[in-house]
Amino acid sequence: MKILVVTQYYWPEDFRINDICKSFIEQGHKVEVLTGMPNYPEGKIYDGYSNLKVKTTIKDGIKIMRVPITSRGKNNSLKLGLNYLSFMITASIRALTLIHKRYDRIFVFQVSPITSAIPALILSKIKKIPSYIYIQDLWPETLYSIVNVSNKNIRNLMRKICNKIYNGFDNLLIASKGYEDILLNNNFKKEKIKYFPQWAEDFYSKVTAKDIDVPRDNFVVTFAGNIGKAQSVQTIIEAANLAKNYKNIQWNILGDGSEFENIRALVEKYDIKYTVNLLGRKPSTDMPKYFSKSDALIVTLGNEDILKVTLPAKVQSYMASGKPILAAISGEGNRILKESKCGLICESEDSYKLFENTITLYKMSKEEREKMGERGKNFFEDNFTRKKLLEELSIIMNLK
């Protein structure tokens, strides 16, 4: 089949949609991607790309059609808004030029904002092509977690717009079961909603023995991922401050994002630079070597309603690595981690309990920690493997 994928973010940006497109090719389908100029997370268009030189390229057998966009900038709400708006406009115009082409399926990878799905919706309705949207960020709930919108009229309008967009697709694929209740409460039909959790790439299961900068005789706990408000990395720093007398506990923070400088300032304020290592953003393919040199992996989320129904993708990656997990997370993530019995869990933003759990894990025997990690890996293999989930995606999209 010929599949059109619409996503604001694509290679060389590091998102799960890259692997999904690769899987379509592996199954023998043809794939074309409509996307923007890469600029995430740095906030500026990558070297080698230009809005003045928009061209179609081929990578790994996938045709990539890029459209010009306003770069998102860093910590700049106006530029971020223009980034969202520009993709919706330029990708919609480009979609209209594809009317003469034949596609069998349209697939949307929807992170924020929901407006990134509009170009796909236009084409799918005109051409009557079966369409599927993979919801990573549920709107408008995700918007309200970032922007305080108290006006009821505006909230009602946003709800109607978002529901209209979602209703335009044949199936809504949700990355977290927690999204289902919200959608059902908004009168979406249950048969339209498909639970499709994220998986971890195969390389997370392949432990490497490469050295990293932190000496291995320390007890190493590692956070990896975006550093934004939603991730509540501040909770980790506060726990590290409480543990500052345990000088051989090293806290690795891998990643970048809108809160990175605030986290750096907090580390300096608490004077814990000797135990907290801000290592910056690394390629996802480098994660196994950091994970293999860690004694535990940390996941945190803020205490927002939408985050309580979210399962961060890093949970699957952590489980696949076979390491015990320390978590300060509520709702769906808390439930999954407790069910898997693969770590020590507390509620979101509870830095004191995260500190206590870290010390408890630190004092455990190596064998006890290894058993936790094994339980997580087994849970991953039962529920979140790439092969299993991609077979389910083929069934949902009727690709066979």
What pTM was estimated for this model as a whole? 0.80
Neighbours of 273 (CB within 10 A): 11
Domains annotated for the chain, with CATH where assigned, are: 2-199+385-396 (3.40.50.2000), 202-383 (3.40.50.2000)
Sequence-distant (6+) residues with CB within 8 A of 127 are: 99, 103
d(CA 371, CA 355): 21
Output the tens digit of pLDDT for each of the chain's 400 residues: 999 999 999 999 988 899 899 999 999 999 999 999 999 878 899 999 999 888 889 999 999 999 999 998 877 888 888 999 999 999 999 999 999 999 999 999 999 889 999 999 999 999 999 999 999 989 888 877 777 777 888 888 888 999 999 999 999 999 888 889 889 988 899 999 999 988 876 666 665 444 444 445 789 999 998 898 889 999 999 999 999 999 899 999 999 888 899 999 999 999 999 999 999 888 888 888 899 899 999 999 999 888 888 888 889 989 999 999 999 999 989 999 999 999 999 999 999 999 999 999 999 999 999 999 999 999 998 888 888 888 889 999 988 7
- Side-chain half-sphere CA neighbours of 28 within 13 A: 2
Is the distance from CB of 182 to CB of 138 less than 8 angstroms? yes
One-letter identity of residue 105: R
